[in-house]
Amino acid sequence: MPIFFKNPILGRLEDILLEKAMVEVEKQLTDKDPKVLYKEARDITKAWLSQERPKVKLASKTYKTIAKEKTSDALAIRLGVTKPSCYSVEIVDRIETPIVLVVPIDVLKYTVVITLAKHLENRIEFKKLMDSSRLAFAQEAVEIYFLGIIKESKKKGTKFNIGLPYGHQATIVDIIKADWYYLGDEDNSSQVNTIVFSSNDEKWWKAKNEDVDFRPQGRQFSEEALRCWGLKSPYFQKIKIR
């Protein structure tokens, strides 16, 4: 249970540091009694927090003014370095150029957090922070702003460069709740929330979807695609709706 209820960033930081401390004490202590491990990890976490808390409070002033903008930047950066082959390529044109790309929302969201945390390292206000603190700032920003940025980008028809330097431009044409998909090597389909990108516009996508058989019935987000985003197959279990 977090110590700091009023500051969500410090609450997130405590969770991150406690997990990190648990890994450390499990390596060092021969006594595997969970109560002993947890107490030792809590003591380490409190020590880290006492050192980091003042720096986090100072950086929070800047965070409040840049959080949305930097989350948007991190989304564009992440999309720009992820090749079309890292998505589920549902539809290609006559010369095999992808025109409909799909990714689970939580996969993209997770990787935007990691990108934003790294991006914050370039700002002077965040340089002295622990990596864990920058991660906590990134988690909070993405939790607050990510979905709103996605919806706003869809509404405006914002063009994203997918997999620079290849220069494949696409817009967000749909956000599908409980989309049916094959995840990894599973034989049974699952439901997962997805984002659909297309080199065509939303009007085209809606018109095509009037045909119930427009989308491929064997659509799959593979383990190889997941690895492109820096994740492993157990993550599929976290993002399944059912």
pTM of the predicted structure, to 2 decimals: 0.88
- The total number of structural domains in the chain stands at 1
Domain carrying residue 102: 8-239
Report residue 129's pLDDT band, with 50, 70 and 90 as the boundaries.
very high
Q: Tens digits of per-residue pLDDT, 30-71?
A: 667 778 888 888 999 999 999 999 999 999 999 999 999 999
Q: Tens digits of per-residue pLDDT, 152-165?
A: 999 999 999 998 66
Report residue 24's pLDDT band, with 50, 70 and 90 as the boundaries.
confident
Establish if 1 belongs to a structural domain: no
Pairwise pLDDT comparison (27 vs 223), residue with the higher score: 223
- State the pLDDT at residue 31: 67
Q: Return the residue matching tokens 């494949």.
A: 168
Establish if 78 belongs to a structural domain: yes
Establish if 152 belongs to a structural domain: yes
Establish if 38 belongs to a structural domain: yes
- State the pLDDT at residue 165: 63
Q: Tens digits of per-residue pLDDT, 203-237?
A: 999 999 888 888 999 999 999 999 999 998 889 98
- State the pLDDT at residue 213: 84
Pairwise pLDDT comparison (35 vs 5), residue with the higher score: 35
Q: Which residues contact 222 (CB under 8 A, 6 or more apart)?
A: 88, 184, 185
Do the Cβ atoms of 90 and 219 come closer than 8 Å?
yes
- State the pLDDT at residue 94: 72
Report residue 80's pLDDT band, with 50, 70 and 90 as the boundaries.
very high
- State the pLDDT at residue 4: 47
Establish if 63 belongs to a structural domain: yes
Establish if 162 belongs to a structural domain: yes
- State the pLDDT at residue 1: 42
Establish if 3 belongs to a structural domain: no
- State the pLDDT at residue 122: 92
Average of per-residue pLDDT values in the chain: 90
Establish if 220 belongs to a structural domain: yes
What tokens does 65 get? Answer: 């003014």
